[in-house]
Structure 1
Amino acid sequence: MRANPMKDIWARGGAVVSAWLSIPSPITAEMLGHQGYDVATLDLQHGMISFEQMLHMFQALSATPAMPMARLASNDATHIGRVLDAGAYSVICPMINSAKEAEAFVSACRYYPHGVRSYAPVRGQIYGGPDYFPKANDEIVKLAMVETRAGFDALDEILAVDGLDGIFIGPNDLAIAFGCPPVSESDHAEVRDAIAHVCERTRAAGKVAGILCSGPQAALKRVEQGFSFVSAGGDIFMLAQAAKNSVAAFREGQRVAAAETV
């Protein structure tokens, strides 16, 4: 089976950087997959991506160096199995609030005797290789999102779940859970402390700490803090920001040209 590149990066003490895809486009996926990201994560929870569009995006990513990953829409065994069968090589599950929910998530990702995943990997085997079945339980990385007070309070129990590889923080929802505005890099002390606590407890448990970031500078700061899986800005935000900068440069050029003709 194709080796999961994230595991090699972590074994060397490095940090994984992921593209974050919400636009339902194989062209966008293919383009970003060639830009140097370790992973490309399709956001099936908040992105505008259907199952068929996800499948085509995974196919596009298979021709790039970036490993295909998905943030799941929900903690549902049928949904999780379909996403993995379509070719997701690792998954992030949102809104994990208890050890029981984490156990259900991990079980849905693993074949018997360690889980309840039904066998029919389809594209997963095409991407992963003919020995997908005996190795998938170990190669597929499973990250649980902690983004509520319930999940925060149950963190140690969630971390103790066998087969769970780590925690991925949803900083916006976590900020809301602490009564603060939804901001990826919050300046509220209670949110900063909560994020630091999750990172520290996760690393102490020998597992991967990940977090969604607004851009590369924020991602670098999170790596310095101890996170080893980060995003570096989403496709929608980057497109909007590039367009805004382009138009601003054009308008400034118009202003200068007009001033010179006076």
Structure 2
Amino acid sequence: MSLNAIWSEGRAALNGWLSIPDGFASEVMAHQGWDTLTIDMQHGIVDYAYAVRMLTAISTTQVVPIVRVPWLDPGIVMKVLDAGVLGVICPMINSAEDAEIFTSALRYAPRGRRSFGPIRANLAHGADYPKRADDLVTGFAMIETRAALDALDAILAVPELDAIYIGPADLALSLGAEPRFDPVDPVVTGPIEHILARAKHHGKRAGIHTGSASYARAMVEKGFDFVTIGSDARFMAAGAARAVADFRNVGNDVKIAY
């Protein structure tokens, strides 16, 4: 399964976020019905070795594996591709030149300059992976700054760019607004709608980070093709907090049966 296969069915992809560097936690998330899971190597505490273990765990399912790389660095883009990811989200793409550097690392020659060495990708996706890789892999440029807004059409015009991904928190900061999930401030929502409209104009897919299922559904209704709802760490914290709150509300007369 790939993102293109999901989109060919005419539906948006539901994405989960992984920031806990653990194979079992990733495997648990992978069995919950997500279309895709993104390992966060930018703001999470995941390094490359842990990312490979997490990708191995995700491979127990049909979930599409994605990585958000730490920065615009062709070396790490190529390395996570060789590890078997089928999507790469690259932060802080602020110009067409940035987008060209990023996309060139996604494709083998003659379409790009990805170095050949799919050491785990062959295991995860079959011996014919190198022949299909250029079309299997999806590259997302994160649009999250005023500079990116100013260069939006030039970024979207880069031929090998598949999609954009909106980081609402950094976008809000860049525009002088409060960073938050599920923004309602027109200072932020206006640019989000503009980014979506321009992506559609250029024939690119559009994704966005959200903090709730209701907001994610609203974004899909607006036309987004890829929506993230929460992370493993946030789900764990929320579930634990609810359990503790339920216990505290009941009182101290609860008996634990062993």
Q: Where on the TM-score scale, by shorter chain, does this alignment land: which range? A: over 0.9
**Is the CA contact (8 Å cut-off) linking 2:182 and 2:212 kept in structure 1?**
no
The 4+ residue runs of structure 1 with deviation greater than 2 A are none
The one-letter code matched in structure 2 to 1:249 is D
Which of 44, 48, 52 lines up with 2:45 in the alignment? 48
How far off its partner does 1:65 sit?
Answer: 2.2
1:29 aligns with 2:34: no
Checking the alignment, whether the CA contact within 8 Å between 2:105 and 2:114 is kept in structure 1 is yes
- SS in structure 2 at match of 1:221: helix
In the alignment, structure 1 residue 63 sits paired with structure 2 residue 60: yes
State the 1:246 CA deviation: 0.6
Length, aligned pairs only: 254
Distance 2:196 2:165 in 1: 9
Matched, 1:236 2:233: yes
Q: Distance in 2 between matches of 1:186 and 1:142?
A: 25
**Corresponding residue for residue 76 of structure 1:** 73
Please give the TM-score of this superposition, normalised by the length of structure 1: 0.94
* Structure 1 runs not aligned, ≥5 long: none
Unaligned runs of 5+ in 2: none
Partner of 1:214: 211
- TM-score w.r.t. the length of structure 2 is 0.96
SS of residue matched to 1:212: strand
Distance 1:174 1:90 in 2: 22
Partner SS for 1:168: strand
Task: Decide which of 110, 114, 118 is 1:117's aligned counterpart.
Answer: 114
Greater CA drift, 91-100 or 10-19: 10-19
Measured in 2, the distance between the counterparts of 1:181 and 1:190 equals 10
Between the aligned partners of 2:95 and 2:241, the Cα distance in structure 1 is 42
Aligned amino acid, residue 174 of structure 1:
L
Report deviation, 1:186.
1.8
- Cα RMSD for the two superposed structures: 1.2
- Hey, what does 1:86 align to over in structure 2? 83
* Deviates further, 202-211 or 97-106: 202-211
CA contact (8 A) 1:145 1:170 kept: yes
Q: How far 1:9 sits from its partner (Å)?
A: 2.0
In the alignment, what sits opposite 1:155? 152
Counterpart of 2:12 in structure 1 is 15
Equivalent residues of 1:34, 1:65 under 8 A apart: no
Residues 17 and 38 in structure 2, CA contact (< 8 A), matched pair in contact too: yes
Deviation digits for residues 11-68 of structure 1, max 9, x if unmatched? 2220000110001010111001010001110001011101110010001111112111
* SS of residue paired to 2:39: strand
Residue in structure 2 matching 1:188, options 185, 188, 192: 185
Q: Is the 8 A contact 1:85 1:124 kept in 2?
A: yes
Alpha-carbon contact 2:88-2:140 (below 8 Å) kept: yes
For residue 206 of structure 2, what is the amino acid of its counterpart? A
